[in-house]
């Protein structure tokens, strides 16, 4: 049976496929074929060798490469030998290259394909968030700071803030792409000595053939700051998803109950408490986000290798990259599903908005008192005193203000009622959402 939950519980087929051993071996075969083509074009290997090696790349069996690795204990040499077994020009495979010319360039191919998957799903998530923002841009709700009721906000603004953050992650991804999806053909320590004067031309041509950017310089490996940046980006993405789902979990608490995850007709919330409707998908996002962020430390630790390279990065990257990409992809999809199925309970939104008997509108009255001539500091003290009294006596703030000295001289009862209406105190929230939609919506076309 499987050991790692990625094998049987988490992840999407399209992302998992990019991190299978077979897919990686196919990438290695492909790069060896590209190398032979570049070398033949420059007259470094016999005519006809590149075609034969390319055909071998198609025919070579990944399982055979694994068998050979078990015998000789070297993964890259096993790839070369597996190809050579089915190629009449096998002696020309891998000429002048070092293992990490092929291995690191294969990682670049996996990065590129994986980033394509993540970008498409982030764009879908962005669209869902923009739709929710626009649909709820006038839905006034209680704002909260420090876990306490603050002045009103809107659900549209909540969704818009998340949408803006996702858009920044897409911007970051476009910036990272040319730095992360790279390859190199630089030989044993980076000098390209085995390729002679044609080294730089070979590298450029190989990368052209497989569609990757080439590094400017390297030693035996592509420098790991590139890889760490990409893993760090995934840590940022899942932290935004974590943030979204923490908010959903908070708002689904029984005593708040403003939103709720979709709950299936036959879904079971608890093995012992039949009434439970737990936010398990949002909780899964928050939990697995920790696992993705945990990959950042080894990714950063892989940057300072000994001299022209050592092997300490290799083993942990076999864990870091698949886990980070598969789980990030899984969490983007899961968060999108949570949001698509999210229910907003308008009755509870309104209940919570007014539950403080006007106390959450003290700022609005304070600002108007200051404008009318009471002065900002005096207005603050008037409203602080009135708010504490209303809270202690469990009274409506309006009732306290109607008899409060320093208030009735400036504001009538009708004016106070208007000021204490939370639906009238959302500033430019609607306009901000609409402006963001105008800015980001075209990116989805």
Residues classed as catalytic: 146, 270
- Distance between CA atoms of residues 298 and 239, nearest Å: 18
Nearest CA-CA partner of 115 in 200, 213, 42? 213
- Distance between CA atoms of residues 235 and 290, nearest Å: 9
Q: How many CA atoms lie within 13 A of 183 on its CB side?
A: 33
- Distance between CA atoms of residues 9 and 39, nearest Å: 45
Count the helices and strands in the chain (H runs, E runs).
19, 6
Q: Are 52 and 143 in contact (CB under 8 A)?
A: no
CA trace torsion 220, 226, 228, 234 (10° rounding): -140
- Distance between CA atoms of residues 89 and 35, nearest Å: 14
Nearest CA-CA partner of 241 in 335, 100, 325, 346? 335
Question: How is residue 275 written in tokens?
Answer: 């009434």
- Distance between CA atoms of residues 26 and 124, nearest Å: 30
β 182-183/213-214 pair status: parallel
Per the DSSP assignment, residues forming a β-bridge with 153 are: 141
Buried b / exposed e along 34-54 (16+ C-beta atoms within 10 A): bbbbbbbeeebbeeebbebbb
């Amino acid at each position: 049976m499987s050991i790692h939950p990625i094998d049987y519980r988490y992840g999407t087929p399209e992302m998992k496929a990019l991190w299978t051993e077979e897919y990686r071996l196919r990438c290695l075969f492909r790069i060896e074929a590209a190398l032979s083509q570049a070398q033949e074009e420059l007259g470094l290997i016999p005519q006809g060798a590149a075609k034969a090696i390319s055909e071998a790349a198609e025919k070579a069996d990944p399982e055979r490469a694994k068998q050979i690795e078990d015998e000789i204990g070297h993964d890259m040499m096993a790839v070369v030998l597996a190809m050579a077994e089915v190629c009449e020009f096998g002696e020309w495979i891998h000429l002048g290259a070092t293992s990490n010319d092929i291995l690191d360039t294969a990682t670049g191919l996996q990065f590129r394909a994986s980033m394509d998957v993540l970008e498409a799903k982030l764009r879908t998530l962005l669209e869902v968030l923009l739709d929710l923002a626009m649909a709820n841009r006038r839905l006034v709700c209680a704002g909260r700071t420090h876990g306490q009721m603050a002045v009103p906000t809107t659900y549209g603004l909540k969704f818009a803030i998340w949408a803006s953050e996702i858009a920044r992650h897409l911007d970051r991804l476009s910036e990272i792409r040319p730095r992360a999806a790279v390859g190199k053909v630089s030989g044993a320590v980076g000098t390209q000595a085995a390729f002679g004067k044609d080294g730089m031309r070979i590298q450029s041509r190989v990368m052209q053939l497989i569609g990757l950017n080439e590094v400017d310089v390297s030693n035996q490996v592509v420098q790991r700051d590139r890889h760490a940046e990409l893993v760090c980006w995934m840590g940022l993405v899942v932290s935004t998803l974590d943030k979204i789902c923490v908010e959903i979990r908070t708002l689904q608490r029984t005593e708040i109950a403003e939103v709720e995850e979709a709950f299936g007709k036959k879904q079971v919330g608890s093995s012992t408490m039949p009434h439970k409707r737990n936010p398990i998908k949002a909780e899964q996002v928050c939990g697995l986000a920790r696992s993705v962020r945990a990959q950042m430390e080894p990714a950063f630790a892989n940057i300072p290798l000994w001299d022209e390279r050592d092997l300490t990065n290799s083993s942990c990257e076999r864990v870091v990259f698949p886990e980070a990409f598969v789980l990030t992809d899984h969490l983007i999809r899961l968060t999108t599903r949570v949001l698509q199925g999210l229910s907003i309970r308008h009755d509870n939104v309104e209940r919570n908005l007014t539950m403080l008997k006007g106390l959450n509108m003290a700022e609005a009255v304070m600002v108007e008192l200051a404008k009318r001539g009471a002065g900002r500091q005096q207005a603050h003290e008037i409203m602080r005193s009135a708010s504490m009294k209303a809270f202690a006596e469990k009274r409506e703030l309006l009732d306290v203000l109607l008899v409060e000295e320093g208030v009735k001289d400036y504001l009538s009862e009708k004016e106070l009622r208007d000021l204490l209406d939370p639906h009238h105190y959302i500033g430019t929230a609607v306009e901000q959402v609409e402006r963001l939609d105008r800015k980001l919506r075209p990116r989805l076309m």
